[in-house]
Structure 1
Amino acid sequence: MSLRSKALALVEVLLRVPPLFVVDEFLKISLGLPVSSGEEGSVLSNITVDGVAVDISDPDVNYYDANFYNAFFFTIVKFLVCCLGCMSALCIFVLYTKHLIIVYLYLTSVGLVFVSYWTNVSAIKQVQALTLVENSPHHSTSILEDILNLNIKNLIDVDGPGILVIQNYAIQFLLAVIFKYVHLGPRYSTIQKLLPISFMAPSFLAMLPVPPNLLHHSPVFSALLPLLLVKYVLWSSAYNVIQVVYAGYQHGRLFVSNYGLSALVETEWMRLNVPCVLRVFWVLRVAEHALMLLVDNYDEEAEEGLKVSTLLAVQSLASMTKSLLVTGCETITAVLGMTSVISFFCHYIGNFFQWILLTDEEEDKSIGTVSAILFYILALQTGLTSLNPEKRFIRLCRNFCLLFTALLHFLHNIVNPMLMSLSASHNPSTHRHIRALGVCAFLIMFPISLLVYLWSQHTISTWLLAVSAFSIEVIVKVIVSLMIYSLFLIDAYRSTFWEQLDDYVYYIRAFGNTIEFCFGIFLFFNGAWILLFESGGAIRAVMMCIHAYFNIWCEARAGWSVFMKRRTAVNKINSLREASPDQLNRLDDVCAICYQEMHSAKITRCNHYFHGVCLRKWLYVQDRCPLCHDILYKIEADGNKDNEGNEDNTNNQNLLLEEDPELLLGEGVR
């Protein structure tokens, strides 16, 4: 991407940031709803009547009181206005760039009119205050008189009206020039020439000996012409605005009908560059707060006249960091911005470990997206925005710990296939083995260090138990991967076929899956305790249902299915005849499945020889002979048994990969 393209992309991102600040400000005031402070969050149930907060859930409240009715009505109106403001800001956010520029030009022109008006008002008030004071040297004199009398002293007096008028004249001239180029009204030459005169009229009148009332009202008359242009643009563009909104609605409805809602969301997400916009918004928001904190600290130090020691500077920096983190997640928009920043860092953490492992899988690059979704779900589940600052910081740190443990699980998902590939394919590259083993060592040492620190610094709690369960689970998963990796390495250096390898790998995986299943049940009960006795919520309940279905029920059903299919395959294999050494010597052939020498074999009904382990794995997929496609297993007393395997063939196609995807390479199956 060229420098010009990058600059244009940055400008487009910056153009979409202000609407987020508008939404954020509305959310800071809770959309105009009254908020009562509580330990665990905000309760939107109080209305202020005559300066006193009244709980509307109180049965003794007089709902027919006039003051209560007016306060309630005002609260509803303020809430509706805030909602309308949020919706307008979001509509501006999703506009195309050309429409967004038009909106900003119009808002800039409106802002220039009001800035000009308030600047004129301020300057006229100061000029009148100086010229009307009896003891002032500028009393009963006008600036025009000073100019005609060449009274340079009064003209250049810093506290005199001359400097004020000159400053206001320069400001108004600059505002007039900018307004001429940005306003969207009719650009007739007469109007364009009158605009500077209109902006600077109060400055001209301040130089003349005009009546005070006329000078006092001159800013109002000077703003009439630009205001007329602004209102003309607003009324004349109303139909175009409606057309743009309707065209956007039509486009969205047509897109959804053709491609679906998810495709529309994905397309708009990419067009608006939402992650980058959220990151810029959050960084600017935090930078603004940091600047305010620095100014406050500087003012306090200047007043006290103290020399700040290194320890105090470090403490001040830690306090400021804590304050920035707390304010950085006080609203939903702020949480979204922090989520985007976390996604950005997690993405590069994943890239770093991919660089260590020398892998470039596309699926492994989703670590940033997964981390963002997890952090945002944790924020909603724990009610992060509704907590008071101290509890919010504690909860944020706990969420970060949970996120780190989840990140470790994702890193294990990256390194596990690498370990299996290196060992099963007999990869001779030593440095790749060392890199993978180094990451595994990190995935064991870091959770242990984290657990030691957390258990030494915190008392037992549901949050600590959850972090411990996730950490121990990742340690168990890494140990299981290393054990299977070791078995494959041993098999690689064996000169004969290792028939028990499949059983050993199955037992190790079954042990690891059982531990994970037990931890899943433990986490479910831990979450149920939190839901019932600590902090409930609809989001937490929904997440518990999702966890119970996917991580407990589906895993239990899949594990039981694998166990039953494996047991069935073992029974089928045991029913076949075992080949004798003489038969194997006369055959003098290799297994048609793995192409390895046969020191032991099973004989099928169609008189073909295969390794028992290879044939068992083949039965996971289908019940027919790999060579002649005759049925391998048949019970004469029940003819329906012939069709059971055929009916289950489609469902069994992925069983081998589901139970043991690496054994295809480890055993040499092609």
Structure 2
Amino acid sequence: MNEQRFNDTTVMNERFRIILKNFSEVALRLPGVLLLEIWWRNKDVHMTPEVLQKSPLSSYLEMNKIIQFIQTRNFDQSASVILSYAVVTLFSIFLSLPLKKLLSVYAHFLSLFLFGFAHYLSIRYVRAEQDSEGELQLDEVCKLEWHGSHILAQLMLCLAQSCLLGLESDFERIMLSVFLLPIFLRMSGMPLGLLMLAHNLACSLAMLNIFVYVLNRAPKILNCLRQSCQALKNVITSHGIIEGAVTIWHNLHFGELLSFAWLFIFLVQMYVNVADRPVDLAKLGILALSAIAESTSTPLSLLALALTVRYGCSLVINFSRWAIGGIHESSHFLVHTGYMEVLVLVLLFSQTGFLAMSREQKAFLLGLVLLIVVSSLLQSLYELLESRLLELGAIPNLFFESHLSSLFLAAVLFTLSIAITVVITNYLPIDLWCVIIGSDSVLTALRTLSVVLLYALTVVETRLPEFWEPCDGMIFLVKMATRILEFCFATFILCYGTFSFFVKQWSLVSFLVLVFHAYFNIWQRMQKIIMELRTRRAAVQSLSRLPRASPLILQKKKDMCAICCEEMRFEARVTPCNHFFHGGCLKKWLSVKQVCPLCYSFVSFKDEHSVNSNPVEPQGVPTANHLYISSAAFIDYEEEDSSEWDSDHSSPFNEYL
């Protein structure tokens, strides 16, 4: 017991360590993606005051001081090009360096910040001394406190920089203390007029120190960067272009990087939108759409938005999968992972020219696209719910408390689907896309209601002491009614789309959508309905010609149905090969295959002489001789008179039930 607990603790600690490591990598590489996004937004822009005022950065920075700096320093185009390539280089460093080397880069940036803070303390000391008395006399200990405090502050900064940079040379450590020069010279009696000269000399030595250090350390960083690029090249060479690119994508956590970068930009933009105005909850949705539009201005940010939607949808799907329980296996990696919603979003954005729109147009299109994404997400949740509800309904001994989460999810799906339909009909202009979204939402609500009805029928059937034969017919009616309503909605979409195509403005995309819709959602659905009706009718006709076993012989045999594994007490059908089954169970089987479930003899009555009474034993199928009745003398078939036969076929639906 203790060993098992120790193993569980070890596994949890290892998982926590991996999660913490991945989160640290994403957080440390995040500035590189933000720099690349800012560079992409301004890569073809000249640094002029008018452009800077219109730049998205004006929302985040104090642009008046930046413009004043540019105007007074003659920040020409050459410097802009140099800084542009510097940003790309920094992005490459942040993205490709290993975690330890990346921590070293952050240590250098932090030490540079400490250098700036040391400069700030030095200039404060010089200005404070210039405002003091002209002659300095250190004849008392209290007069040393002012100078000693500044020396101590500079010393602490030097120690911190030395630890961050890992300096081992005494000369390099001494060069870190250049801003102590004005303090020592002032304490030595330097006149106040020359004190600024001492500060300028310290600044010059500091810049020289940084220059020499960069010359010595930059080749090592570039060499490490070259090794990282070589490692990426080896991955692509060994795995191929596609698989190698996917491997690099996952190892660098590039999807999480883009998603976190987009969320950071969105939160900053949202803060800018609500900082200078009172928060109105009624307009919060409009402000959020406006912030999303402002945060999505480049192909990189558009990809980041798509990945954020993917992670959000995947989180909702995984939480729903955990809440309802069960085992959910998908046949494809795109199913129930959020990728389908991303494909829908990227397809719509690429067809509408999203990036070239104004902010108002982007906000409106985002509302429409997000409704489509939510509708697709509800469809994915319905697919999870359908299999789980039918599974729960077929388990007779499961506590009802385990059903509540699935029923709650069904209620949420039904409510949200109706809510999306109401929003579309009330707030959006009716066009082909709105009709498609609304119909899809209504169909999701209809399918959810249908699967709840099927679940209720299955629960009732599994909890009855004896087999309930009419339940199969009711289940078939619910399924067929759902399919017919789906076909009607699909036909309505086709009719409206055709009307819009000829009367309103048409486009090639709308035409292709209608063509695919007509083939997949109408033609194939109609063929499926016809096929199900035919197989159901054939199963009912075949079953109606099979004799019933009397209750007396059933009580004498005390046999079990080989399909549902329940005892046959009051009702059973006998196949031509003398095997007994429940009528409802055999009807379900014959709807799939017109053969005996045990011996695979054909159960067909189109030609009475073609019925093969001898079992056909395919390879791998048991003969089941222990259930085979060799003599018909032991079977007392019920005689059904003609009036009873006519009453069974009085309804036109009986040939399907």
TM-score, normalised to structure 2's length?
A: 0.64
Q: Distance in 1 between matches of 2:360 and 2:457?
A: 51
Which of these residues, 187, 203, 224, is aligned with residue 208 of structure 2? 224
Structure 1 residues 580 and 506: alpha-carbon distance in aligned structure 2, compared to 1, 3 A threshold:
closer
Shift of 1:233: 1.4
Quote the residue 1:476 is aligned against: 446
Cα distance change of structure 1 residues 541 and 31 upon mapping to structure 2, 3 Å threshold: farther
1:192 to 152, 173, 181: 173
d(CA) in 2 for partners of 1:84, 1:634: 83
Pair 1:634–1:6, CA change in 2 (3 A): closer
Give the secondary structure class of the aligned counterpart of 1:12: helix
1:452 to 413, 422, 432: 422
Return 5+ residue gaps in structure 1 as ranges: 35-73, 131-137, 157-162, 298-307, 651-670
Inter-partner Cα distance in structure 2 for 1:507 and 1:349: 33
| Whole-angstrom CA distance in 2 between matches of 1:295 and 1:448 | 35
Query: Quick one: structure 1 residues 620 and 99, their matched pair in 2 at CA, closer, same or farther if it must change by over 3 Å?
Result: farther
- SS class of match (1:223): helix
Letter of the structure 1 residue corresponding to residue 33 of structure 2: L
Work out whether residues 423 and 485 of structure 1, in 8 Å CA contact, stay in contact via their aligned partners in 2. yes
User: How far off is 1:168 after superposition?
Assistant: 9.8
Measured in 2, the distance between the counterparts of 1:31 and 1:112 equals 34
Moved more, 165-174 or 479-488: 165-174
What's the counterpart of residue 25 of structure 1?
Answer: 38
Q: Distance in 2 between matches of 1:166 and 1:520?
A: 84
User: Quick one: distance in 1 between partners of 2:177 and 2:80?
Assistant: 38
Residue 228 of structure 2 corresponds to which residue in structure 1?
244
Structure 1 residue 635: Cα displacement: 9.1
Q: CA deviation at 1:16?
A: 1.7
Structure 2 contact 290–360 (Cα < 8 Å) conserved: no
Counterpart residue identity of residue 34, structure 2: F
Kindly tell me: are residues 594 and 362 of structure 1, through their superposed partners in 2, closer, same or farther at Cα, counting changes over 3 Å?
A: closer
Corresponding residue of 1:369: 338
1:111 to 1:166, Cα distance in 2 relative to 1, 3 A: same
Q: What's the Cα RMSD here?
A: 5.7
1:232-311 matches, cutoff 5 A: 232-254=216-238, 256=239, 261-262=242-243, 265=246, 271-274=251-254, 277-278=257-258, 280-289=260-269, 292=272
1:601 aligns with 2:581: no
- In structure 2, relative to structure 1, the CA distance for the partners of 1:356 and 1:281 (3 Å cut) is same
Task: Flag structure 2 segments of 5+ consecutive residues without an equivalent.
Answer: 1-11, 48-76, 622-657
Residue in 2 aligned with 1:15? 28
Distance 2:203 2:530 in 1: 86
- Paired residue type of 2:162: K
State how many pairs are aligned.
556
1:562-584 Cα shifts (integer Å, max 9, x gaps)? 85487368548857993445789
1:399 pairs with 2:369: yes
CA contact (8 A) 2:372 2:437 kept: yes
For residue 146 of structure 1, what is the aligned residue in structure 2? Answer: 134
- Match for residue 413 of structure 1? 383
Aligned to 1:627: 598
Paired amino acid for 2:520? W
Is 1:548 the counterpart of 2:530 in the alignment?
A: no
C-alpha distance in 1, partners of 2:368/2:443? 18
**1:433-485, Cα deviation, whole Å (9 max, x unpaired):** 56544543443344334433443344423443233112211121123213323
Quickly say closer, same or farther: Cα 1:195–1:542, change in 2 above 3 A: farther
Letter in 2 for 1:373: V
Structure 1's 624 and 107: CA in aligned 2 closer, same or farther, altered over 3 A? Answer: same
The one-letter code sitting in structure 2 at the alignment partner of 1:413 is: E
Deviations 1:575-597 (A, max 9, x none): 79934457896686554434545
The answer as to 2:296 corresponding to 1:329 is yes
Deviates more, 1:20-29 or 1:439-448: 439-448
> Distance in 2 between the 1:576 and 1:521 partners?
34
Residue 21 of structure 1 and its aligned partner are, at CA, apart by 0.7
Q: Equivalent residue for 2:162?
A: 180
Further displaced range: 9-18 or 421-430: 421-430
Q: Deviations over 1:625-662 (max 9, x none)?
A: 443345556999999x9xxx999x99xxxxxxxxxxxx
| Equivalent position SS for 1:244 | helix
The more displaced of 18-27 and 485-494 is 485-494
Distance 1:241 1:100 in 2: 11
Secondary structure of 2:177 counterpart: helix
- The structure, 1 or 2, with the larger RCO (C-alpha pairs under 8 Å, 6+ apart) is 1
Q: Contact 1:577–1:603 (CA<8 Å) still a contact in 2?
A: no
- Would you say the 8 A contact 2:97–2:225 is kept in 1? no
Match of 1:89 among 88, 91, 94: 91
Q: Does residue 534 of structure 2 align to residue 567 of structure 1?
A: yes
CA distance in 2, matches of 1:452, 1:483: 24
The 2-side partners of 1:388 and 1:167 are apart by 56
Q: Work out whether residues 543 and 587 of structure 2, in 8 Å CA contact, stay in contact via their aligned partners in 1.
A: no
Query: Partners in 1 of 2:402 and 2:317 — Cα distance?
Result: 17
Matches of 1:408 and 1:627 in 2, distance apart? 41
TM-score, normalised with respect to structure 1: 0.63
CA-to-partner distance for each residue in 1:64-108, whole Å, 9 max, x for gaps? Answer: xxxxxxxxxx99x98999689558625632433123223434555
How big is the shift at 1:175?
A: 5.9
Provide the C-alpha distance between the structure 1 equivalents of 2:158 and 2:39, rounded to a whole number of angstroms: 32
**1:302 match:** none
CA pair 431-179 structure 1, distance change in 2 beyond 3 A: closer
Query: Following the alignment from structure 1 to structure 2, what is the Cα–Cα distance between the partners of residues 430 and 410?
Result: 25
Letter in 1 for 2:291: L
Q: 2:431 aligns with which of 451, 461, 468?
A: 461
Q: What corresponds to 1:63 in structure 2?
A: none
Could you tell me how far apart the structure 1 residues matched to 2:617 and 2:39 are? 63
Output the CA distance in 2 between the equivalents of 1:628 and 1:327: 68
Aligned residue runs from structure 1 range 53-92, under 5 A: 85-86=87-88, 89=91, 92=94
Q: Deviations over 1:36-55 (max 9, x none)?
A: xxxxxxxxxxxxxxxxxxxx
Shift of 1:189: 1.8
State the distance in 2 between where 1:476 and 1:462 align: 21
1:390 maps to which residue?
Answer: 360
The aligned counterpart of 1:100 is: 102
| Contact kept in structure 2, 1:13 and 1:277, CA below 8 Å | yes
Secondary structure, aligned partner of 2:176? helix
For 1:263 and 1:622, the matched residues in 2 are separated by 46
Is residue 279–residue 337 contact of structure 1 (8 Å, CA) maintained in 2? yes
Deviation at 1:621, TM superposition (A): 6.3
**Residue identity opposite 1:469 in structure 2:** S
Distance verdict in 2 for CA 1:554–1:398, change over 3 Å: closer
Identity %: 19
Within 2, Cα distance between the matches of 1:543 and 1:203?
78
When residues 175 and 212 of structure 1 are mapped into structure 2, their CA distance, relative to the original with a 3 A threshold, is closer
Change (3 A) 1:11 1:23: same
